[in-house]
Amino acid sequence: MRHSIILLPLLCLAAPVAAQQPDDLNRVIDEGLNHSQVMQIAQHLTDDIGGRMTNSPQMRQAEAWTADQFRQWGLSNVRKQGFRFGRGWWIAGSSVKMVSPRPIQLTAIPIAWTPPTNGVLSAPIIVAPMKKERDFDAWRGKLAGKIVLVSLPGTGDEPNEAAFQRLKGEDIEKLDRFEQPKNDPASLERLMKRLSFIRKLEAFLKAEGAVGWARQSYRDGKLLHGEGYDFGVNDTAALPGVEIAAEDYRRLARLAKTGPAPVLEINSDVRFDDSDVNAYNILADIPGSDPKAGYVMAGAHLDSWVAGDGAADNGAGSAMIMEAARILKSLGIKPKRTIRFALWSGEEQGLFGSMAYVDEYLATRAPGPKEEQGREEMYFRYKTRFPITPKPGYADLKAYFNIDNGSGKLRGLYAERNVAAVSLLREWLSPFASMGAGNVVSQPTDGTDHEYMQAIGVPGYQFIQDPLDYESRVHHSGIDTFDHLKAEDMRQGAVVLAGLLLQAANSDKTLPRMPLPTQPAVSDPFKYEDPSLD
């Protein structure tokens, strides 16, 4: 008898709120687990298409294929949302060799949006670590004709933690600690200064007559990444640049310290594609039965870097979004609210796809300073523009769910300080608690496509995911390939997402919203800036 007393509230918790269609959740689970297509979708995006740099020919392929899939599955209003981005760029081939003092093929990759070498560039290196403008003086007059190694060579890493992890209960508990917002304009200005340094460095190297430059990979183990940000049409760097594997970079640096400067041969056969300076989000709907009920949305960015095949970041998220759409559509679900699926572009360079969505459909922010020209800076300054003027569609978006943390199992949602929304989110996730996805924690997250929605007060949330080896070695690296995706996790993710969207679309309730943000006060008005941080 005591058992029934205890069980009663548990049963209440476990009952989905969308009790109108209790079968539907189990049909979603059946379709998503017994008839899954999520790995086939991911395999096409990664193996067949490969790394999908914004505006590259590969990304164009991915835009066409994903839109076509949505259409084939019968989704409505499948469309491309264009926004001005910049140049396409891709790697046709590349090779970096040390030719003296002894021949070695180095592990290296051209840095994104750097220009080609136009054949083989052969030159001695010079190790000239520079982090700030004041470091330039030491190297003035010494760089002509050289390939300049600009990173300070460090020492090898000591990976004392397992590369592959799953979240334990206590890890998730730690995320559920309310974190007060901070507004520290000075630290933002410091960041802006650091970001503009790379362009000053490029200009300095060019002015000094250097013929190319190289930096060290930020991960050991011969992993490569190659991120770069000079993607504006009039913004191309003057010199070819490559990222060299840490082990190879440090060997070059030691050889240069103990003997004659090693000579490199760099062949960076990279290509620009200016046929269309617009990037495109792919949007597709399952229309709702009640046009006044608004819509719910899920999204992931389709673009990636190019050292790997853009699998965990973010073929995985894209495939889960697409699979959730396929599952819901294939079951003939007719939700009350429209369910919208979004595949964003330009995420890796500054969340530009979701920014374009906010600008076009949700709210107008005050104009930014003139120097914001499709660059990283825009990303960091965008949220500092006030006032925010909601557009007519602002209130229609009832919830947005974003996936961008690899292929790990969905473990719940970050509530982004919206403590009033926690109980409803928990309710919607409760059917998936036994799949590990029942958690809602208060912490905010950033750096992906829900961020600009959160920043205007729209309930946009990111999933908690098992980290697997995403941060430790896969994120942006050459091993971001299909076989680092976990099929069981991906199937769980698609099912949880589809089930959550279904409930959010049919619920009698909508999520409590945050107040419309206004210019926040400086968190610590009494603080002195430490000049040594400059």
Q: Give me the residue label for tokens 């000239």.
A: 128
Give whole-number Cα distances, 443 to 162, 180, 301, 313, 423, in Å: 24, 9, 22, 22, 15
d(CA 332, CA 212): 57
Q: Is 210 left (phi over 0), alpha (psi -120 to 50) or beta?
A: beta
| Using rule CB under 8 A, residue 250 touches a second copy | yes
Q: Are 454 and 384 in contact (CB under 8 A)?
A: no
CB of 127 to a second copy, least distance (A): 14
Quickly list DSSP for 284-337.
Answer: EEE--S-GGG-EEEEEEE----SSS-SIIIIIHHHHHHHHHHHHHHHTT---SS
Pick 431 or 436: Cβ nearer a second copy? 436
The reply on whether position 34 binds a second copy by CB under 8 A is no
Q: Are 280 and 323 in contact (CB under 8 A)?
A: no
Q: Token match 């059946």: residue?
A: 30
Binding of residue 255 to a second copy (CB under 8 A): yes
Q: Which is nearer to a second copy, 145 or 259 (CB)?
A: 259
- Per-residue binder mask for a second copy (CB under 8 A), 159-198, x = binder: xxxxxxx---------------------------------
DSSP class of residue 495 equals H
Nearer to a second copy (CB atom), residue 95 or residue 330: 95
Backbone angles phi, psi at 271, to 5 degrees: -130, 140
Q: Name which position in 36, 37, 43, 345 contacts a second copy (CB under 8 A).
A: 43
**Contact characters 470-509, a second copy, x per CB under 8 A:** ---x----xx-xxxxx------------------------
With CB under 8 A as the contact rule, which of the stretches 20-28, 99-107, 138-146, 488-496 interacts with a second copy?
99-107
Binding to a second copy by CB under 8 A, coded x per residue (else -) over 192-231, reads ----------------------------xxxx--------
How far apart CA 159 and CA 279 sit, in angstroms, is 38
Nearer Cβ to a second copy (440/474): 474
Smallest separation, CB 472 to a second copy (Å)? 8
What string of H, E and C letters represents the secondary structure of 433-470? HHHCCCEEECCCCCCCCCHHHHCCCCCEEEEEECCECH
Distance CA 469, CA 457 (A): 32
Would you say 234 or 258 has its CB closer to a second copy?
Answer: 258
Half-sphere exposure of 450 (CA within 13 A, CB side): 26
Q: Name the residue nearer to a second copy (CB basis): 48 or 189.
A: 48
Report in angstroms how near the CB of residue 327 gets to a second copy at its nearest.
22
The two beta strands, 241-244 and 108-110, are: antiparallel
Site track for a second copy across 50-69, x = CB under 8 A? x-------------------
Min dist. Cβ of residue 94 to a second copy (A): 7
Q: Which is nearer to a second copy, 252 or 378 (CB)?
A: 252
Is the CB of 103 or the CB of 525 nearer to a second copy? 103
Q: Which stretch binds a second copy (CB under 8 A): 90-98, 351-359, 423-431, 433-441?
A: 90-98
319 Cβ partners below 8 Å, 6+ apart?
38, 39, 41, 42, 45, 490, 494
User: Does 119 interact with a second copy (rule: CB under 8 A)?
Assistant: no
What is the closest distance, in whole angstroms, from the C-beta atom of residue 226 to a second copy in the complex?
13
CB of 437 to a second copy, least distance (A): 20
Q: 338-344 and 295-301 as β-strands: parallel, antiparallel, unpaired?
A: parallel
Given the complex with a second copy, which of 318 and 477 has the nearer CB atom?
A: 477
Which positions from 440 through 469 interact with a second copy, judged by CB under 8 A?
Answer: 468-469
Beta bridge partners of 295: 338, 397
* Residue 491 tokens, joined: 């199937």
Site for a second copy in 308-347 (CB under 8 A): 308-309
Q: Is 398 one of the binding residues for a second copy (CB under 8 A)?
A: no
Question: In this structure, how many other beta carbons lie within 10 angstroms of the beta carbon of residue 469?
Answer: 20
Query: Distance between CA atoms of 11 and 214, rounded to whole angstroms?
Result: 60
* Count of residues in contact with a second copy, rule CB under 8 A: 51
Contact between 251 and a second copy by CB under 8 A: the answer reads yes
Binding site for a second copy (CB under 8 A): 43, 47-50, 92-95, 97, 101-105, 107, 155-165, 220-223, 246-247, 250-251, 254-255, 258-259, 308-309, 468-469, 473, 478-479, 481-485
